[in-house]
Amino acid sequence: MPTEKGRFSELIEARCQDPNKAALIMYSGEILTYGELIRLRGQIQTTLAHWVRPWERVALITRDGRLCMPLLLGVMETAICAPLDPALNNGQYRSQLELLRIDWVLCDSDLDAVIEAALDLGLGIITLPGGPVPAPETSDLHLQREPDATRRRKQGDSRPAFVFTTSGTTSQPKVVPMLYAGLARAIEVEADFYDYTAESVQLVAVQLFRNPAIQVILKVLIRNGSIVYTDGVNPKRIADCLQRFPITHMNLQPAGMCALLRYCQQSSYVYPHQHDMYLIVVGAPLPVQVREEIQQLFRANLIDHYGMTEVGLITSPHKAPKGYKPGSVGCPFFKQIRLEEGEVLVKDFGMFAGYDDPEVNRDSFLDDWFRTGDMAAIDEDGYLFLQGRVREMINRGGEKISPYEVEAALLESAPIKEAVAFPYPNKQGSDDVGVVVVPHPGATVDLREIRSALRSRIKPYKLPALLYSVAELPTSSAH
């Protein structure tokens, strides 16, 4: 199948006015310049083209943050890139390589866990020097073995730039191929929408192998901006970078924003800059109180961005006709959306044409509309208000209740730091609403007063029948 690959490299090179400008600044102080990025990407692409076919899938695993960006570009322009976490064990790598139907592994030479898994599966192996290097002078790729001849694909779909996994509304991971042409169009449009220029400085906290980081990186690079990388959601590092660099854009999930705010409050942090900054919240809207405190601290334009791995940005309050509306994730600008029995359906740029598994696709599309699995309402101005996931909705005698709505109402109560709403079975054969709240440190809560206050905020059938207060909620180590 024909591809339109090469668009990202063309844009980056065409807009590069100064090869010594920093494309990537590591927290440690190491820098990757645009000249190095362009040269290394060219070397990698030329070398890979001798070994890898355009329709083959290459798992990319490296701990070298400076080489990660030219490697991502080189692989996606040559074949199909599947970035993976360099911290997995042998069994996890084997599972990922099989699920993603990988043909080649491109990794650090000392990553034994993935090399052993690739050998067991008969995959091709290309290695980089292991451990840190003084400077990214050369990509230095080494062909260790080609894929077993008996399993090597003679032909296939060469249109994807990347393949990722996502769990979505199920516990079974799904494979998401992202088509190059649609991705390129979406990245260009979103770069314009969020006002990326050569003066932009983007703080990236999420590891570079993750899809949200990759999409942000591409927006910055095609506008010839700079990226500051903290290598993880570390509040101290993020605060330090906000102090040291004129950050114009930062994307974080609500938990990361809250952790950053707590760190700044506890350390009496003073933000020194006066320039405009976009703080883009991904995953879910922030509680109103947290939102106001962050905006006051950083004098920033805080944007509740709603998107998905499969289709990218769906709605945003940025440039919406009536600005920000509390509780809303804004309006659609580039994609068609509609509601079907309350579920958000989307048409995108052609970035996503379906999962690898045809069985999953049957439940994931309605005609040519992608089913997000998110429940929502749209007001008269076209603003979208998320109400939870289809499978998370609480069914109380036929009435659908969004746990998010109940939680948001609870968080408006000053002493409450966290709240979780959940369904539990009642004697009538349906669900009742249960809630667990965590008070702010040093605060006390009166559960009767909280229940009474909720009556003015939500409808009676949404009121919790069970209400508990605990010191903290259990959490996992999942990212």
pLDDT averaged over the chain?
A: 88
pLDDT of residue 423: 82
pLDDT at 397: 64
d(CA 92, CA 84): 10
Going by pLDDT thresholds of 50, 70 and 90, the confidence category of residue 170 is: very low
- Condensed to tens digits (0 to 9), the pLDDT of residues 381-439 reads 999 998 777 666 676 766 667 777 787 788 876 678 888 888 887 766 667 888 888 88
CA dist., res. 478 & res. 85, Å (int): 13
Instruction: Please compute the mean of the pLDDT values over residues 253-266 and round it to a whole number.
Output: 90
Min mean pLDDT across 94-98, 119-123, 349-353, 421-425 is at 421-425
Which residues are CB-neighbours of 311 under 8 A, at least 6 positions away? 335, 346, 348, 351, 352, 370, 372
> Rounded to whole angstroms, how far apart are CA atoms 21 and 34?
6
> What CA–CA distance (Å, rounded) separates 400 from 420?
17
- Give tens-digit pLDDT for 437-459: 888 887 877 778 887 888 888 88
Q: For tokens 């010594």, what's the residue?
A: 20
- For the record, the structure tokens of 371 come out as 């089913």
- Backbone φ, ψ for residue 303 (5° rounding): -120, 120
CA distances from 86 to 119, 189, 252 (A): 17, 31, 22
Return the percent helix, strand and coil in the chain, to nearest 5: 30, 30, 40
pLDDT score of 360: 86
* Dihedral pair phi/psi, residue 294, rounded to 5°: -70, -45
pTM comes to: 0.82
3-class secondary structure, 414: coil
Average pLDDT over every residue of 362-374: 89
What CA–CA distance (Å, rounded) separates 224 from 341? 43
Q: Characterise 359 by phi-psi region: left (phi > 0), alpha (psi -120 to 50), beta (else).
A: alpha
| Element of type H or E holding 377 | strand 369-378
Greatest Cα-to-Cα distance within the chain, rounded to the nearest angstrom: 71
